[in-house]
Amino acid sequence: MKDYETIIGLEVHIELNTNTKLFCSCSTEFGAMANTNVCPICMGMPGTLPVLNEKAIELAVKAGKIFNANINTTSRFDRKNYFYPDSPKGYQITQMDMPICSGGYYDIEMEDGKKRINIDRIHIEEDAGKLIHLKEENISLVDYNRAGIPLIEIVTGSDFRSADEVILFLKDLRAILQYTGISDGKMEEGSLRCDVNISMRAKNSMDLNKKVEIKNLNSFREVYRALIMEEEIQEKLYAESREDEIKEETKRWDETLGENIPMRSKDDEQDYRYFIEGDLLDIHIEEDFIKNISEDIAELPNLRRKRIIKEYNIPIMQVDILMENKIYIDYFEEVVSYGMDSIEAANWITVDILRILKEREITDAIPINPSYLAKLINLIKNGDINRNVGKKILDMMVDINKDPETLVQEMGLIQISDIDELEKVVGKVIVDNPEAVDDYKKGKSKALGYFMGQIMKATKGKANPPKVKKILERKLDEIK
């Protein structure tokens, strides 16, 4: 059997992080009630004219610079004509012959070194509406809130040789989009969607064989599974010398069936009859505009990760948890900027803060002022409160946006570290629990935990645990 290799290329659609749509002032907010973010322009009413959103141009140029592309000083919009209910105008405004960026590359970091992925082009276009099919009632509904939201489409070269390489690229891409503010990159909300094309050929040949395109993949898992599934099918056909049976066609991934379902073959490919969008002027971009944007690009995630590892003495695993969301790592660096120990700060954020966010299903911000977390860590470090009280205060701070020092005062939670006072409490608890003393003397270590619990109860959780433990052990050992 000959050796074959897999050839994969991507077309990634990315919703840009603008407040308003590409050609009108409708909101781009996700999750609004259906058909409330619409106007005559994005509904395609006759007589309306599109007005270009400059922010979209900025973000597309930013993406171009990050992916080392040429920013074309002149680019142009075209109409892609098709009739489908998700497109109220009967055409989509996109860029065909003169995209805003062309050429470019991105290097993914593989275990055995870097691998270059070429970028063919990046162009701007508008998103379509969304169809909702109610199977049981046998009707379809349409929501035009998404119609006209600005997208960029990044088209890569056919440079990927495996599904793993694709996932590596897409994860980097999503992080870059989020860290530089180009897009929120939320795949679950459709902000990042991917079409993949896949074919095979004999290793080291330059053949371009028939490829299968799989449309509209919405998660890394779907991309991965769809590619592996298609790869298996083609591999088998090649192995059995039945590669003639591979059709150049478009499929869609069915998550429930775990299969790629054919949609249409190349023969019935639509003719979009592209022509220049006469309602919009060409886009002319000045060098200064490009320069300003280039200077404004935030630290890219791979560089930031390297810096964080070098600058703060925290385990890589925690670095990766913090880097998962820009909100976390920004927060971490701010807490540390108040002079906090980086290890303590990382622990509080990756364990306690993330627990709170998960419990309360908060995803877009950390609801505790970073200076308050810094103060809280200090209160514990100085022995003013113990760690358990600290956790209670942290929970409280989510609801009451107050300085932890004030909260500790108001709630009377200052830790009891006074030796005389602790001696009294410990003495009383020992006298009150003769059976537990017997257990302790018989070597039952559980008894110690019982005493600690009773002492904490008696002090309403305010006793300083290490001090209590010392006094308790001494007193118990004194009993003959």
- Binding residues for Zn ion, rule: CB under 5 A, are 24, 26, 39, 41-42
Closest CA to 132 of 30, 29, 35: 35
- When the beta carbons of 25 and 270 are compared against Zn ion, the nearer one is 25
- Least distance in angstroms from the C-beta of 101 to Zn ion: 26
- Least distance in angstroms from the C-beta of 223 to Zn ion: 31
- DSSP conformation class of 317: H
CA pair distance 301, 50, nearest whole angstrom: 35
CB atoms within 10 A of CB 418: 12
Q: Which residues of 32-41 are buried (b: 16+ CB within 10 A; e: fewer)?
A: eeeeebbeeb
- Contacts with 97 (C-beta within 8 Å, 6 or more apart), sequence order: 76, 78
Token pair listed for 119: 């970028």
Q: Which H or E run includes 164?
A: helix 163-180
- When the beta carbons of 27 and 218 are compared against Zn ion, the nearer one is 27
CA pair distance 57, 123, nearest whole angstrom: 10
- When the beta carbons of 34 and 233 are compared against Zn ion, the nearer one is 34
- Least distance in angstroms from the C-beta of 181 to Zn ion: 23
- When the beta carbons of 151 and 329 are compared against Zn ion, the nearer one is 151
Task: Show the CA angle centred on residue 316, arms to residues 310 and 322, nearest 5°.
Answer: 95
Token pair listed for 336: 């540390």
- Least distance in angstroms from the C-beta of 85 to Zn ion: 17
- Least distance in angstroms from the C-beta of 35 to Zn ion: 11
- Least distance in angstroms from the C-beta of 286 to Zn ion: 28
- Contacts with 457 (C-beta within 8 Å, 6 or more apart), sequence order: none
| Helical axes 301-311 vs 316-323, angle rounded to 10° | 140
- When the beta carbons of 18 and 260 are compared against Zn ion, the nearer one is 18
- When the beta carbons of 36 and 401 are compared against Zn ion, the nearer one is 36
Task: Show the CA angle centred on residue 121, arms to residues 115 and 127, nearest 5°.
Answer: 120
Token pair listed for 460: 């309403």
- Least distance in angstroms from the C-beta of 24 to Zn ion: 3
- Least distance in angstroms from the C-beta of 39 to Zn ion: 3
Task: Show the CA angle centred on residue 422, arms to residues 418 and 425, nearest 5°.
Answer: 150
> Helix, strand, or coil here: 255?
coil
- When the beta carbons of 31 and 339 are compared against Zn ion, the nearer one is 31
- Least distance in angstroms from the C-beta of 50 to Zn ion: 10
- When the beta carbons of 42 and 346 are compared against Zn ion, the nearer one is 42
CA pair distance 181, 184, nearest whole angstrom: 7
- When the beta carbons of 147 and 471 are compared against Zn ion, the nearer one is 147
- Contacts with 268 (C-beta within 8 Å, 6 or more apart), sequence order: none
